[in-house]
Amino acid sequence: MSGHSKWSTIKRAKGVADARRGQLFTKLGREIEIAARDGGGDPSANFRLRLAIDKARQANMPKDNIERAILRGTGKLKGTTIEEVKYEGYGPQGTAVIVEVLTDNRNRAVSDVRRVFSRHGGNLGETGCVSWLFEHKGYISIVPQDTDAEELALMAIDAGADDVKVDQDLVEIFTKAEDLQKLREVLQERNISFNTAQLSWIPKSVVQLDEKATIQNMRLIDALEELDDVQQVYSNLEISDEVMAAYEAEQ
């Protein structure tokens, strides 16, 4: 588990990562399009598409935008060809970074990603250089409202979660990729709202750095996430609440 996951969830909740609304809708549209292309346009039969649509609705993406993305994915509406690419690299002081990209121009995407790595003290690596340090798992985050955090954790474990991490203001649920749908449905049946429900790259172990180096890595991650082609960024960086607060204070 990584403080990076919590930081990403907090950013989404505050709208920090999605400040550029037009860019956000473009990214969400590509995610929906790829899901529809790979698994069909029926969300009831395509779990990945259902996750993408839910994320778009949480961001208040217009219904027409969602429907057009599905039509492009199923070939019923013309559009550019979107490629799904995963890049791997190293942040300052050797942190492991995975960058998920959806792009209509692979050359542009890799050039932009390499430039950001270099500018922020990291470097783009070869395929497979860091992915062995991560596991592809289901990830659900919940900001407890009326429900007790410990009760949420026990419920998730009973429903088949692999692990649960409880902080004062966040419950993080980790599960096998194939069990994410079941966990999500259990939460919905019990009317428990969640901030994030997605397949994620979860580090097997984390790296702890001093505040200066941690913030340097956080700047790299933010800069990668600001690229139009980048969907998600994952790292094995441990980020404490204190460093999160210090970083936010300088923004």
Mean pLDDT of the chain: 91
- What sign has the CA pseudo-torsion 1, 157, 195, 51? positive
Question: Which two three-digit tokens encode residue 43?
Answer: 């969300």
What is the pLDDT at residue 202?
Answer: 94
Q: What are the residue ranges spanned by the domains of the chain?
A: 3-73, 83-131+209-233+244-249, 133-203
Whether CATH 3.40.50.1860 fits 83-131+209-233+244-249: no
- Sorted by sequence, the CB contacts under 8 Å of residue 251 that are 6+ apart come out as 16
| Domain 83-131+209-233+244-249 and domain 133-203 have a common topology | yes
pLDDT digits (tens, 9 = 90+) for 129-144: 999 999 999 999 988 8
Superfamily of domain 133-203: YebC, transcriptional regulation domain (3.30.70.980)
Q: How confident is the model at residue 1 (pLDDT cuts 50, 70, 90)?
A: very low
Predicted model pTM: 0.91
CA distances from 40 to 30, 37, 49, 71 (A): 14, 6, 8, 10
pLDDT digits (tens, 9 = 90+) for 20-59: 667 889 999 999 999 999 999 999 999 999 999 999 998 8
What is the pLDDT at residue 59?
Answer: 86
pLDDT digits (tens, 9 = 90+) for 171-199: 999 999 999 999 999 988 988 888 889 99
User: So what CATH class is 3-73?
Assistant: mainly alpha
Q: How confident is the model at residue 96 (pLDDT cuts 50, 70, 90)?
A: very high
For 33, phi then psi, to 5°, come to: -60, -45
Q: Is the pLDDT of residue 92 over 70?
A: yes
Q: How confident is the model at residue 248 (pLDDT cuts 50, 70, 90)?
A: confident
State percent of the chain over pLDDT 90: 71
Which of 113-117, 166-170, 186-190, 219-223 shows the lowest per-residue confidence on average (mean pLDDT)? 166-170
What is the pLDDT at residue 14?
Answer: 62
